[in-house]
């Protein structure tokens, strides 16, 4: 989608601090971190939100979810992490390209 910020990040047209990528997803640091570790996991394909998901995306979503513990470990989050998916304006979603927030660190309990 041409006017989507996260599609531009996938395409490399907008810079990001990438920590992981594969053929299905890109993972980068949130520009305004809410915790010591704050990553965004996004699909390479444009899906606006969870509302867009179809059965054909089941494997992609499973891949994104299964990636989270591995990313958390690689970030040194041995004690656990938090996953947030804001959906729709009423859910606090600002960027309409599906993304999983992965948060962790010592200050997490205060959020």
Binding mask 20-59 for Zn ion (x = CB under 5 A): --------------------------x-------------
Tell me if 16 contacts ligand AMP by CB under 6 A.
yes
109 binds, among Zn ion, ligand AMP, none (CB under 5 to 8 A by kind): none
Handedness of CA 30, 88, 26, 80 (dihedral sign): positive
| 61 is a contact residue toward Zn ion (CB under 5 A) | no
86 binds, among Zn ion, ligand AMP, none (CB under 5 to 8 A by kind): ligand AMP
Q: How many CA atoms lie within 13 A of 34 on its CB side?
A: 13
State the Cα–Cα distance between residues 3 and 70, nearest whole angstrom: 31
Is-catalytic flag, 101?
no
Question: In the chain, where do the E strands start and end?
Answer: 18-21, 25-29, 37-43, 82-84, 100-104
CA–CA distance, 10 with 46 (Å, rounded to integer): 10
What is the per-residue binding string for ligand AMP in 38-67, x denoting contact by CB under 6 A?
--x---------------------------
Q: Is 86 in the site for ligand AMP (CB under 6 A)?
A: yes
Structural Rg of the chain based on CA atoms = 14
Residues recognised as catalytic: 99
């Amino acid at each position: 989608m041409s006017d989507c910020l996260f599609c531009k990040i996938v395409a490399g047209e907008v810079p990001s601090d990438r920590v992981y990528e594969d053929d299905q997803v890109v993972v980068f640091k949130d520009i305004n971190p809410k915790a010591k570790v704050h990553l965004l996991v996004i699909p390479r394909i444009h899906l606006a939100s969870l509302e867009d998901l179809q059965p054909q995306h089941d494997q992609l979503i499973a891949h994104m979810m299964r990636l989270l513990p591995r990313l958390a470990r690689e970030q040194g989050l041995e004690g656990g992490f938090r996953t947030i998916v804001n959906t729709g304006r009423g859910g606090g979603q600002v960027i309409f390209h599906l993304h999983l927030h992965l948060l962790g660190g010592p200050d997490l309990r205060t959020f």
